[in-house]
Structure 1
Amino acid sequence: MFNTLKEKYFDEIKKLRRDLHRIPEEGLKEFKTSRYIKDYLTDLGLEYEETAGTGVLCYIDMGSETTYAFRTDMDGLSIVENNDIDFKSTNPDMMHACGHDGHMSILLIFAKYLSENKDKLKDNILLIFQPAEEGPGGAKLIIKEGVLKKYNVKNVFALHLSPNIPKGKYSSKPYGFYAASTEFTVFIDGKSSHGAAPHNGVDAIVIAAQYINGIQSIVSRNINPIREGLVTIGTIDGGDRINIIAEHVEMEGTIRTLDKDTYKIIDKRMHTLAEGLSEAYDCKITYDWRPFYGITYNDKELYEKVVPAFGNDYILGDAILSAEDFSFYSEEIPCFFYELGIREEDKGYVHPLHNACFNFDEESLLYGVMGDINILKTLGAIE
């Protein structure tokens, strides 16, 4: 099948990807991207409707009681591109450094394939072009609008390009695949004093150091070592002058877990640690907890149904502590999320996601089209 897809669609998917790569846009502001998608679907003779502001839905109604949805993300990242290519981002402050240009191109060619093979389709298909995956979570907006219920969606499928997997390979795992993520800010208020008289103050920096060390011991000593949990302090700001005991420290970080029980332990211990340090050092510690995305969960029964679609090109993956807003779909109905390999060391396609040099060969995208087609075949939704 791959050679047939390549002969028929390679030039077109290459153009799609490069056109979209040139116009990365911020989440919920993907106006040019949305227009591009609508125009392409119209040219295919497919109807669309708007969702979540800049999002686009394309429903192929076969009169079936079953609807399968396929979702792509649309937004770019606030990164200055460092690739020397003729289709470089025309928005100097934005870049498609997470492969969303590739994801959209896959779904558009998938749409074309379905439109050309509609006589073979047995079930309804909903294509979801979703804004704001990178934040604040476009999936949540689509669910809130009732899209899944309106179209009686049975399952949602999605993929993500991965520079960690060889080109043309597929990877996933049952149950928790991508982690839940919570952002937090911790505020420590002590008392300033002259550096020569530390006994007259309450040193917020010393307390912050104790708190950071304590957090790391939560993961190493309170969490079962065979379970995934991670706490990262990414920023710390405190103090005004070199000879003054710091009165205030502000820290920001993230919590990442793959099961709710682990999250509850980390959450409880971090708050208990703050309370203990507040009493021990006679200071005030407050915090702002901001749950971001939940666990991207692959339904076990659905996983076992669709993985045979990838044949010998499938690799059982490890859990990944990155977060994905596809998690919101998996909280509603059985879902399946997989990674598509794009790594080619001989061509230099090795840079990680969210890197200013991230790039890939568009031929890789045809494996994504093939993967989605084979998922439908495995489910008996298309001949």
Structure 2
Amino acid sequence: MPHACPPFNASATDGEGLFSSIEGQELLDELTRYRRDLHRIPELDDDLPRTIAYVRSVLSGLSCDVLEPCKGAVCAFFDLGRAETVAIRADMDALPIDEASGAAFSSEHPGRMHACGHDGHMAMALAAATWVDRVARGADAVVRAGQLPRNVLFVFQPAEETTGGAKRVCESGVFERYRVTRIFGMHLWPDLPAGSLASRPGPLLARSSETTATFHGVSSHIAKWRDGRDALGAAARFVVGSKWLSRKLEQDEPFLLRFGHMTAGTVRNAVAGQARVEGSLRVFSDDMFARAQDEVRALAQTAADEEGCTFDLHFSEGYPPVVNDGTLFGEAAQALPELERVPEPLLIAEDFAFYQRYLPGVFFLLGTGTGIPLHADTFNFDERVLLRGVRAYQQLLFGV
């Protein structure tokens, strides 16, 4: 779920720009077709046969090399004869959610839905690719291939919502093979005004680590509670202490530790012999992640000791924080004079972070203005906001 972001003073755009001879309505029709076609066929994780087939069907008619660098990924390389390449990323996977939007183009796959805007991300990347194709063929009346400073690689990746497909794309060697020196990505954002574009230099989104603490005690009848070791009591102490710990660590940098699920015991009149607490840790630096692990482990030890229990503690590796390269952000801000600034980092996670550990990258938020949360079964948006995203990609490709 997104962390609510204060509204920005950004007006919605009609999508008209300086860089494409495609008329605004024609581009909107193209974007709408792509988005709705893809919205009907949501697929999960790496298992994306219909989605990949659709993406390839669009790319196969363009003047690019189409390849699959790793399982579930599709890339399109436009060779404009340059020494360097810029990449644009879109994610393809959906969520295991039953759609309740009521849209005429709702999911045809029960239990699956594009509830996070990935259909829109793909639509923008496909439309940008058709524009680059026009440029490469000299068919655009304003921009010629000679004016684009870099080759272009479009990356359509799997498993953003699950196992971090971006990491496997990076490890495939595709960026080295095609001399990629920078990458851009975008995410639809319900908390921003429709058509507004926002980001910030440095930390933008958090590192996410699933955190699980299991306390082991000794069960006994509550009438003989002194014979037991209260695992539920230890877990409760741990959860309460985690709130104090969050308040302490967030004084140094944005930090979040919260637990949303706990199970313990078997019956109401017996001391719980085991308790399990599941939550999430969000930080913005490797140093804070290491510090948080030490602090949470010490907290769990204290809680266990106070009840005479033992414990196991596990932190998932998770996704790194999304940290926008400062130099590249400055160049992007010059190319996008209307770009708004996100005032502070947001406590959600995105696997675009893996790309930024391989090469400089900047991630943007594109407002839908709906306020409907990401991952909601009613999530929807007006395709006109996608015009702003395509124009932004054009400006970035042309000017950065």
TM-score, scaled to structure 2: 0.90
Q: Which residue of 1 aligns with 2:307?
A: 281
Alpha-carbon contact 2:43-2:112 (below 8 Å) kept: yes
Q: Which residue of 2 aligns with 1:50?
A: 68
SS of 1:165's partner is coil
Q: Which residue of 2 aligns with 1:61?
A: 79
Aligned to 2:261, which of 222, 225, 235? Answer: 235
CA distance in 2, matches of 1:281, 1:91: 49
Alpha-carbon contact 1:179-1:320 (below 8 Å) kept: yes
CA distance in 2, matches of 1:340, 1:276: 44
CA distance in 1, matches of 2:350, 2:108: 26
Q: Which residue of 2 aligns with 1:335?
A: 361
Say if 2:284 is the partner of 1:271: no
Aligned to 2:386, which of 362, 365, 379? Answer: 365
1:262-282: CA deviations, max 9, x gaps? Answer: 222221111112223333332
SS of 1:196's partner is helix
For 1:83-162, list aligned pairs within 5 A.
83-118=101-136, 119=138, 120-121=144-145, 122=148, 123-162=150-189
Amino acid at match of 1:330: Q
CA distance in 1, matches of 2:168, 2:100: 32
Once the two structures are TM-superposed, the CA of residue 213 in structure 1 deviates from its matched residue by 1.1
For 1:5-44, list aligned pairs within 5 A.
5-44=23-62
Alpha-carbon contact 2:197-2:338 (below 8 Å) kept: no
Amino acid at match of 1:268: D
Once the two structures are TM-superposed, the CA of residue 9 in structure 1 deviates from its matched residue by 1.1
Aligned residues with identical type, % of pairs: 33
Once the two structures are TM-superposed, the CA of residue 220 in structure 1 deviates from its matched residue by 1.0
Alpha-carbon contact 1:159-1:339 (below 8 Å) kept: yes
Say if 2:235 is the partner of 1:214: no
CA distance in 2, matches of 1:275, 1:86: 54
CA distance in 2, matches of 1:273, 1:204: 15
Say if 2:101 is the partner of 1:74: no
SS of 1:164's partner is coil
CA 1:5–1:368 in structure 2 vs 1: closer, same or farther (change >3 Å)?
Answer: farther
TM-score, scaled to structure 1: 0.94
SS of 1:292's partner is coil
Once the two structures are TM-superposed, the CA of residue 49 in structure 1 deviates from its matched residue by 0.6
Which ranges of 4 or more aligned residues in structure 1 deviate by more than 6 Å?
A: none
Task: Give the length in aligned residue pairs.
Answer: 373
Q: Which residue of 1 aligns with 2:396?
A: 375
CA distance in 2, matches of 1:173, 1:205: 42
SS of 1:261's partner is helix
For 1:190-229, list aligned pairs within 5 A.
190-221=217-248, 223-225=249-251, 227-229=253-255
CA distance in 1, matches of 2:279, 2:260: 5
Once the two structures are TM-superposed, the CA of residue 225 in structure 1 deviates from its matched residue by 2.0
1:59-94: CA deviations, max 9, x gaps? Answer: 001121110000000000011111111100011101
Once the two structures are TM-superposed, the CA of residue 260 in structure 1 deviates from its matched residue by 2.4
Q: Which residue of 1 aligns with 2:15?
A: 2
Once the two structures are TM-superposed, the CA of residue 135 in structure 1 deviates from its matched residue by 1.3
SS of 1:115's partner is helix
SS of 1:182's partner is strand
SS of 2:192's partner is strand
SS of 2:223's partner is coil
Amino acid at match of 1:229: F
Once the two structures are TM-superposed, the CA of residue 374 in structure 1 deviates from its matched residue by 0.6
CA distance in 1, matches of 2:82, 2:390: 23
CA distance in 1, matches of 2:177, 2:339: 35
Once the two structures are TM-superposed, the CA of residue 242 in structure 1 deviates from its matched residue by 1.1
* Structure 2 gaps, min length 5: 1-13, 17-21, 139-143
CA distance in 2, matches of 1:289, 1:312: 40
Say if 2:313 is the partner of 1:295: no
Q: Which residue of 2 aligns with 1:346?
A: none
CA distance in 2, matches of 1:8, 1:354: 30
For structure 1, which segment, 203-212 or 46-55, has the greater mean C-alpha deviation from structure 2 after superposition? 46-55
For structure 1, which segment, 301-310 or 114-123, has the greater mean C-alpha deviation from structure 2 after superposition? 114-123
Alpha-carbon contact 1:52-1:138 (below 8 Å) kept: no
CA distance in 2, matches of 1:185, 1:307: 40
Once the two structures are TM-superposed, the CA of residue 45 in structure 1 deviates from its matched residue by 4.2
